[in-house]
C-alpha cells in the first residue's frame, strides 16, 4: 500500500508538475518578474541566463511573469493592470504562453526570454509583439501557437494564474524580481541572486552527489 501510494503520487507529480523533466536534487529557482522592469531585465540578462549557460543542468527554473501587476473582476471580465503599463501586460502574456507551449523547457524558453529582455533593455516603449516574433525566429521557435495564445483569453488566463501564484507568496513579494530558491525566500538569497555571485549560490544549494565541473571554476 505504501509503495502503491508512492508510485501513484510519483505519477501524479510527473503528469502535473513538470513532465518528469526535473531532478529531485536540483536547485529549484522560482523567478517572479515583470517583463519591462529594469531590475528584472538586468537579473535575466546578467545573472539567470549566463548562470543557466554554465550550470543549467542543476537548475529547475520556473518563470512567473506578473510581479506587482493587479487584476480585478470587472463585470464579466477581468482587468489586469501591469506595473509598467499595458505593454508590460503584453510581454508578460507572451512569455506566459511561451512557457506553456515550449513545455517549460528552459533550454528553449530561456534563450527566447533573454532575447526579448535584451531587446527591451534601455528602451522606453518597445514594440513587444514584433520583438517576440523576431526572437522566436532567431531561436528557431514556431511562434504560431504562442501568438494565438497571447492574443486570446487563454493568454490572459495564464497571466492571471501567475498573478494568483504571486499573490499566494509568503512572505509577500515586495521587490521585483523576487527570487525564491528551493521554496524558501530569504533576504540573503535574494540579495546574492541579484547583486552577488548567483552561480556560487546555486552550486551551494545543490544537493546532488556530483556538482557540475563549472561549480569549481
Ligand atoms: C528541451 O529542449 C532541448 C532542446 O531542444 C532538448 O534537447 C531536450 O530534450 C528538451 N528537454 C525535455 C525534457 O524535453
Ligand atoms: C538529472 O541528474 C542526472 C545526474 O546528475 C543527470 O545526468 C541528468 O542530466 C539530469 N536530468 C535533467 C533533466 O536535468
Ligand atoms: C507551427 O505550428 C503550427 C501549429 O502547431 C503548425 O500548423 C505549423 O505547421 C507549424 N509551422 C512550422 C513551420 O513548423
What average pLDDT does this structure show over 95-119?
98
Atom of ligand 2 nearest to the CA of 209: 5
135 C-alpha to ligand 1 centroid (Å): 18
Cell of 128: 513587444
12 pLDDT above the threshold of 60: no
165 C-alpha to ligand 2 centroid (Å): 27
Cell numbers 515550449 label which residue?
A: 102
168 C-alpha to ligand 3 centroid (Å): 36
170 C-alpha to ligand 1 centroid (Å): 32
Residues contacting 57, CB < 8 A, separation 6+ = 26, 212
From 144, 145, 148, 149, the mutation candidate for ligand 3 (largest count of ligand atoms within 8 A of CB) is: 144
57 in contact with ligand 2, CB cutoff 6 A: yes
Which residue ranges have their beta carbon within 6 Å of ligand 1?
A: 21, 105, 107-108
- Tens digit of pLDDT for each residue in 30-89? 999 999 999 999 999 999 999 999 999 999 999 999 999 999 988 888 999 999 999 999
Among the bound ligands, the one closest to the CA of 137: 3
Spatial CA neighbour of 182 closest among 18, 21, 23, 30: 30
164 pLDDT above the threshold of 90: yes
21 in contact with ligand 3, CB cutoff 6 A: no
Architecture per CATH, domain 27-206, reads as 3-Layer(aba) Sandwich (3.40)
What average pLDDT does this structure show over 153-166?
97
What average pLDDT does this structure show over 145-168?
97
Q: What is the pLDDT of residue 18?
A: 47
Peptide linkage before 177 cis (omega within 30 of 0): yes
pLDDT classification of 202: cutoffs 50, 70, 90: very high
d(CA 84, CA 76): 25
Residues contacting 36, CB < 8 A, separation 6+ = 82, 83, 84, 85, 87, 88, 91, 120, 126
Amino acid at each position: 500500500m505504501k509503495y502503491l501510494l508512492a508510485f501513484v503520487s510519483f505519477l501524479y507529480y510527473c503528469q502535473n508538475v513538470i513532465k518528469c523533466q526535473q531532478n529531485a536534487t536540483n536547485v529549484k529557482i522560482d523567478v517572479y518578474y515583470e517583463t519591462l522592469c529594469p531590475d528584472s531585465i538586468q537579473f535575466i540578462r546578467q545573472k539567470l541566463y549566463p548562470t543557466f549557460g554554465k550550470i543549467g543542468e542543476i537548475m529547475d527554473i520556473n518563470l512567473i511573469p506578473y510581479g506587482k501587476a493587479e487584476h480585478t473582476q470587472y463585470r464579466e471580465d477581468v482587468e489586469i493592470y501591469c506595473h509598467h503599463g499595458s505593454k508590460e501586460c503584453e510581454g508578460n502574456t507572451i512569455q506566459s504562453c511561451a512557457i506553456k507551449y515550449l513545455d517549460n523547457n528552459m533550454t528553449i524558453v530561456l534563450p527566447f526570454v533573454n532575447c526579448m529582455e535584451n531587446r527591451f533593455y534601455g528602451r522606453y516603449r518597445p514594440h513587444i509583439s514584433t520583438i517576440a516574433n523576431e526572437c522566436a525566429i532567431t531561436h528557431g521557435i514556431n511562434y504560431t501557437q504562442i501568438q494565438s495564445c497571447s492574443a486570446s483569453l487563454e493568454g490572459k488566463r495564464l497571466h492571471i494564474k501567475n498573478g494568483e501564484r504571486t499573490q499566494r507568496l509568503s512572505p509577500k513579494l515586495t521587490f521585483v524580481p523576487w527570487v525564491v530558491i528551493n521554496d524558501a525566500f530569504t533576504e540573503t538569497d535574494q540579495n546574492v541572486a541579484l547583486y552577488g555571485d548567483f552561480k556560487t549560490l546555486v552550486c551551494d544549494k545543490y544537493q546532488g552527489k556530483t556538482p557540475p565541473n563549472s561549480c569549481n571554476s
